[in-house]
Amino acid sequence: MIDWVAFGIVAIVTWISAMLIVAAYAFGVRLLAVAKDEGKNTSLSKTGAYACFTVAGLIVAFGVVLIVPQLSEAVLGFSSSH
Amino acid sequence: MDLTLIVVLVIALALFFDFTNGFHDTANAMATPIATGAITPKKAVALAAILNLVGAFLSTEVAKTISGGIINEDPSTGVAIGPAMIFAGLMGAVIWNLLTWLLGLPSSSSHALFGGLVGAAIIGAGVASVNYSVLLSKVLLPAICAPVIAGVSAYLCTKLAYAITKRQNGASPKRGGFRYGQIFSSSLVALSHGTNDAQKTMGIITLTLVASGLQDSGSPVHLWVVAACALAIALGTYTGGWRIIQTMGSGLTDVKPAQGFAAEVSTASAILASSHLGFALSTTQVASGSVIGSGMGRKGGEVRWGTAGRIALGWLFTLPAAAIVGGIAAWIVHFGTPGLIIVTVLGVGAMLTIWFASRKQPHGAETTMSDIDNSGAAVNILTKKQRRAKAKADATQAKLAAANKEADNS
């Protein structure tokens, strides 16, 4: 039968992960723009920006780990494979 | 004809299909970062090829859907159709793919593959040989849902990216920073392409091995099959890239870095999530959904529904059309070895004809544009001036309507 739950999972996972990645990266871009404009506290803004980029990268890495059965078993201790 | 020879033929044709798939889809992932100058074409193409290769090794869920779901199992022989029927279906898919590529019609290589296979199975082994429930839930419904999911995601992400980077005091938002992000988001699209599209070929080869008794039904995909498909798609991606580089700058849609980043992240997320659940979807359709969604998310973005409808119509057409070609091929193959030889000769002849016909067309013709560019044309982004003019016209119209109403009332 049609597994509507699977479609729901795809939709929710796509929306949440994409928005988290884009939000993290966008905050990074904004902080870099702030660092360039305002002069003071540049290093703080820049560090924040790179932290944001790292968060975006970590979300992607987590997603890849979840998908690869061998990796998710090694890193998380379980596999969500069907 | 020897059983092993037909198996070798199917594997060769399947790998060729995989190669054309990579060849056709490089542009989907890498056209935008090349266009915005974030990465040099040479590096982009090499990166896309490597990531397709890696992606193919990540998962086998989609391959399992194809090898163990769509075609019903026969209790006595294992699979209801033989390798010759699979060969006929593949031939239908390859020819339909090349034909749409030559004519510049929007198409999906994945749907061509399923169409060819289903058509060949129905003609070769009867209507009951296809598992329509799996076809519906793992191929047809994802084909509709996934582009919509990706489109909504791209719309929301574009809005979000612009809202977060908007500066209050009129300072420059410096959204060019997204250009470097696009290197990573495009890479992610290439990776997801490998996870979904290379697996379709793995599924076909595994199905053939099961059908000819060389592999137990329900057993996992062999590693050499994974490696062969990964190499074929990577090679295709790399070769296809040179074609894009030669035709760069012709007809690329106006995609801003922030918008492109949002669209690519949405595409990759949707494809990866779907691959994990075994949905065999068309990566081109998902990417098109994202491009349209992100265009709508920009200020002044409006959809040209006529163009979008024409693209969707092309997609609808693919499955039944490839099914007919696959069915005809299966009917000829039905006559045994001579039939098989006829299909092979006709098929290779058709491929060569299409190839030579495509060489005669000038560069920059519609065939060299990616499908994503076609769907980008379905969104019209108004400039600031146009937006103001439109708002003014709307206001005047509203005033006029109010005045008319008053005149009617009095």
| For B259, nearest residue in chain A (alpha carbons) | A22
Please report the DSSP string for B18-45 in residue order: HHHHHHHHHHHHHHHHHHTTSS-HHHHH
| A50 falls within a domain | yes
**What pLDDT is stored for residue B371 in this prediction?**
60
Q: What's the average model confidence in pLDDT over B139-161?
A: 88
User: Are B14 and B144 in a shared domain?
Assistant: yes
Print the domain residue range for A14. 4-75
Report which residue type is found at B271: I
- Residue B75: pLDDT band (50, 70, 90) is low
C-alpha–C-alpha distance, residues B274 and A67, integer Å: 10
Residues B405 and B346 in one domain: no
Whole-number Å distance between alpha carbons of B324 and B339: 17
Whole-angstrom CA distances from B186 to B51, B255, B335 are 10, 13, 47
Give the strand pairing for B73-74 and B78-79.
antiparallel
pLDDT confidence bin for A15, thresholds 50/70/90: very high
ipTM score of the complex? Answer: 0.88
More confident residue, B360 or B99: B99
Is the distance from CB of B293 to CB of B150 less than 8 angstroms?
A: yes
- pLDDT of residue B219 exceeding 50: yes
What separation in angstroms does the CA of B105 have from each of B10, B79, B100, B296, B315? 27, 34, 5, 24, 9
> Is the pLDDT at A82 greater than 70, yes or no?
no
Say yes or no to pLDDT of A26 above 60: yes
Domains contained in chain B, number: 2
Q: Which of B174-183, B193-202, B250-259, B264-273 has the highest mean pLDDT?
A: B264-273
Neighbouring CB atoms inside 10 A of B17's CB total 25
Token pair, residue B1, equals 């004809």
Q: What is the pLDDT of residue B373?
A: 61
| Domains contained in chain A, number | 1
Domain identity same for B237 and B131: yes
Question: How much of chain B, in percent, has pLDDT values that exceed 70?
Answer: 87
In this prediction, residues B303-331 reach a mean pLDDT of 82
Q: What is the tens place of the pLDDT at every residue in B159-193?
A: 898 888 887 777 777 777 788 888 888 888 888 88
* B36 and B94 co-located in one domain: yes
Nearest to B145 by CA among B304, B295, B279: B279
Mean pLDDT of B224-233: 87
Does residue A34 belong to any structural domain of this protein? Answer: yes
Does residue A13 fall inside a structural domain?
A: yes
Q: Are residues B8 and B67 in the same domain?
A: yes
Is the pLDDT reported for residue B366 higher than 60?
Answer: no
Query: Residue B156: its chain A contacts at CB < 8 A?
Result: 15, 18-19
Both B302 and B402 in one domain: the answer is no
In the DSSP assignment, the letter for residue B256 is -
Q: Is the pLDDT reported for residue B367 higher than 50?
A: no
Contact pairs from chain A to chain B, CB under 8 Å? 127
CB-based contact, B153 to chain A, within 8 Å: yes
Burial class of residue B127 in the structure, from the number of CB atoms within 10 Å of its CB (0-12 exposed, 13-18 middle, 19+ buried): exposed
Between CA B291 and CA A13, with CA B48 as vertex, the angle to 5 degrees is: 50
Tell which of B164, B172, B186, B281 to mutate to test the A interface (max A CBs under 10 Å): B164
Please indicate if any CB of chain A lies within 8 Å of the CB of B278. Answer: yes
- Confidence label for B252 from pLDDT (cuts 50, 70 and 90): very low
Clarify whether residues B347 and B390 are in a common domain.
Answer: no
List the single range of A5-9, B8-12, B287-291, B356-360 with lowest mean pLDDT: B356-360
User: How far A29 CA lies from chain B's nearest CA (Å)?
Assistant: 6
Tell me, yes or no, if B141 comes closer than 8 A to chain A by beta carbon: yes
Of A1, A13, A64, the CB nearest to B133: A1
In angstroms, the CA B79 to CA B210 distance is 7
Chain B, 76-95: which have a CB under 8 Å from a chain A CB?
none
Whether residues B355 and B239 share a domain: the answer is: yes
What is the pLDDT of chain B when averaged over all its residues?
Answer: 79
Confidence label for B3 from pLDDT (cuts 50, 70 and 90)? low
Same domain, B373 and B405: no
**How distant is the Cα of A47 from the closest Cα of chain B, in angstroms?**
15
Confidence of residue B194 (pLDDT cuts 50, 70, 90): confident
Record the tokens describing residue B81, joined without a space. 């159709």
Q: Which domain holds residue B194?
A: 3-377
Contacts of A80 in chain B (CB under 8 A): 276
CB pair distance less than 8 Å for A25 and B261: yes
Query: What is the rounded distance in angstroms from the CA atom of residue B286 to the CA atom of residue B68?
Result: 24
How far, CA to CA in Å, does B4 sit from each of B9, B283, B322, B341? 9, 33, 26, 15
pLDDT, average across residues B115-137 = 82
Please tell me whether residues B371 and B388 are part of one structural domain.
Answer: no
Give me the phi and psi of A8, to 5 degrees please: -60, -40
Contact residues, chain A, for B159 at CB < 8 Å: none
Query: How far is residue B330 from each of residues B81, B84, B215, B219, measured CA to CA in Å?
Result: 11, 8, 23, 27
Residue A80 located in a structural domain: no
Cβ–Cβ under 8 Å, residues B142 and B274 = yes
Residue to mutate among A12, A22, A70, with most B CBs inside 10 A, is A22
| The residue to which tokens 């159709």 are assigned | B81
Banded pLDDT at B248 (limits 50, 70, 90): very low
Is B276–A7 a contact, with Cβ atoms under 8 angstroms apart? no
Which of B168, B272, B286, B298 is most worth mutating to test chain A (most A CB atoms within 10 A of its CB)?
B272
Q: Closest partner residue to A23 among B160, B184, B191, by Cβ? A: B160
- Tell me the mean pLDDT in the region A24-40: 81
Count CA atoms closer than 13 A to B395's CA, side-chain side: 6
Lowest mean pLDDT among B264-273, B321-330, B394-403: B394-403
CA atoms of B144 and B152, how far apart (whole Å): 13
pLDDT at B104: 67
User: What integer pLDDT is reported at residue B21 of this predicted model?
Assistant: 82
Q: Does B54 touch chain A (CB under 8 A)?
A: no
| Residue from the list A23, A36, A56 with its beta carbon closest to the beta carbon of B174 | A36
B38-56 tens-digit pLDDT: 788 888 888 888 888 888 8
User: Least CB-CB distance to A67: which of B152, B177, B276?
Assistant: B276
Same domain, B129 and B268: yes
| A82, part of any domain | no
| Dihedrals phi, psi of A57, to nearest 5 degrees | -65, -40
- The answer as to whether A81 is a domain residue is no
Q: Do A67 and B141 touch (CB under 8 A)?
A: no
Integer angstrom CA distances of residue B339 from B306, B334, B336: 43, 7, 5
Greater confidence, B245 or B381?
B381
Indicate whether B407 and B352 sit together in one domain.
no
